[in-house]
Amino acid sequence: MREVNVSGPPATGNPSVGRVSDQRAAQVRDRRSSTLSAAHARRLVVVTRKTPLEVLLERHGTYGQAKFYLESRGQNISWAANTHARFEAGLAAVQAAFGSDERRVRLDRADLPTFLFAPEDVVIVVGQDGLVPNVAKYLDGQLTIGINPDPERYDGVLCRHAPAAIPHFLRWLEEEVRSERTFHVQHRTMAAVEREDGQRLLALNEVFVGHRTHQSARYRLQVAGRVERQSSSGIICATGTGSTGWARSIARQRHLELDLAPEDSRLAWFVREPFPSVASQTELDFGLLGDASNGTTWLEAVSEMGEDGVIFADGIEADYLDFLSGQKARIQVAEQRLNLVV
């Protein structure tokens, strides 16, 4: 019987066959190594917020106490329990998709101001749409994806993906050339407001400048080379993302056409309920910033309020800057963008 050499090509054969085979094996090893190194380099940051049930338990201590409290007021705790169960199921599905050696951390919304995001972090927001703007102001280019764990409760405008999308998303992250047929990245415009002392806030939706309790705010407004002293319910400056929220309701009341896409590099500003008097004007009440056609790139307000003047972003009134007599607030398009995976 003739012996068959299964250890490789015969010594007298074509040596290039062995070299090609070795090269292909090395390429496969390199690809696997690069995929593993990318997975180890990145960190998955899962951002959530407390569910209604968790808030009730924090307040009342036990499920029974919370149930008694609601029932004594003609309400039922089942809606909070069901919402919590759907959220937990969605979160569990997201986390189950992570590899055993994947670096990950879960972060509550309340901890965002003190958390240090790394450049290689990948942010996974699980919950309602409002969580995305809460996170966006603390990011600097990190990829972000929104997961909707409860379509019955949340619209899914910014958190538009189901938990089942996470395995596909993780594979997409590892592609050398990422296909836009599966996911693509929107570079959403953000607004920046900066005080004269360098304090700064970012907003994905809108910036508010005015009185803490939404009473009359007094200030001098400068935009497009014009200056007015005003008394109003405050100034709103919205991005394309925010144009479907607070800004949209203002525009509809005034019968204004507001057509800003999420990646539009312009901001829309409104003066809320400007009051005409011998000391205040109302001519400057709406416009666009970052519009190349008129060269208007910024808006500036100088406070004339001795107390309770504030600046806040995306509706988070607790995270504010003072806006008191003599202090300035300049609003313009931010250099940062939110890289939202859709």
d(CA 34, CA 284): 56
Of the pLDDT bands very low, low, confident and very high (cuts 50, 70, 90), residue 214 is confident
> What b/e sequence results for 218-234 when a residue is b if at least 16 CB atoms lie within 10 Å of its CB, and e otherwise?
bbebbbeeeebebbbbb
pLDDT for the residue numbered 248: 87
Average pLDDT in the 139-164 region? 96
Q: Which two tokens stand for residue 303?
A: 């406070």
Lowest mean pLDDT among 173-182, 313-322, 328-337: 173-182
pLDDT for the residue numbered 291: 73
- Looking at CATH, the fold of the domain delimited by 42-183 is given as Rossmann fold (3.40.50)
pLDDT for the residue numbered 307: 96
pLDDT for the residue numbered 21: 52
Of the pLDDT bands very low, low, confident and very high (cuts 50, 70, 90), residue 32 is very low
pLDDT for the residue numbered 18: 52
Do domains 42-183 and 189-335 share one topology? The answer is no
pLDDT of 306 strictly over 60: yes
Of the pLDDT bands very low, low, confident and very high (cuts 50, 70, 90), residue 40 is low
Neighbour tally for 171: CB within 10 Å:
12
d(CA 139, CA 129): 16
User: Where do the structural domains in the chain lie, given as residue ranges?
Assistant: 42-183, 189-335
What pairs with residue 333 in β-bridges?
191
189-335: CATH homologous superfamily?
Probable inorganic polyphosphate/atp-NAD kinase; domain 2 (2.60.200.30)
What percentage of the chain reaches a pLDDT higher than 70?
Answer: 87
Reading phi first (left if > 0) and then psi (alpha if -120 to 50, else beta), residue 234 is in left
pLDDT of 296 strictly over 70: yes
Residue 143, helix vs strand vs coil: strand
Lowest mean pLDDT among 90-99, 141-150, 238-247, 291-300: 291-300
d(CA 243, CA 142): 23
Q: Among the ranges 6-15, 108-117, 283-292, which has the highest mean pLDDT value?
A: 108-117
pLDDT for the residue numbered 121: 98
Look up tokens 């919304």; give the residue.
109
For the stretch 156-208, pLDDT in tens is 999 999 999 999 999 999 987 777 778 999 999 999 999 999 999 999 999 99
What percentage of the chain reaches a pLDDT higher than 90?
Answer: 75
For the stretch 79-110, pLDDT in tens is 999 999 999 999 999 999 999 999 999 999 99
pLDDT of 333 strictly over 90: yes
pLDDT for the residue numbered 259: 85
Mean pLDDT of the residues in the chain:
89
pLDDT of 36 strictly over 70: no
Q: Considering only CA atoms, which of 238, 243, 177, 231 is closest in space to residue 207?
A: 238
pLDDT of 39 strictly over 80: no
Look up tokens 């909707």; give the residue.
148
pLDDT for the residue numbered 4: 39
pLDDT of 61 strictly over 90: yes
The residues, any chain, with a CB within 8 Å of residue 333's CB and separated by 6 or more, are: 189, 190, 191, 192, 265, 266, 267, 289, 290, 297
pLDDT of 283 strictly over 50: yes
Q: Considering only CA atoms, which of 322, 330, 273, 276 is closest in space to residue 301?
A: 330
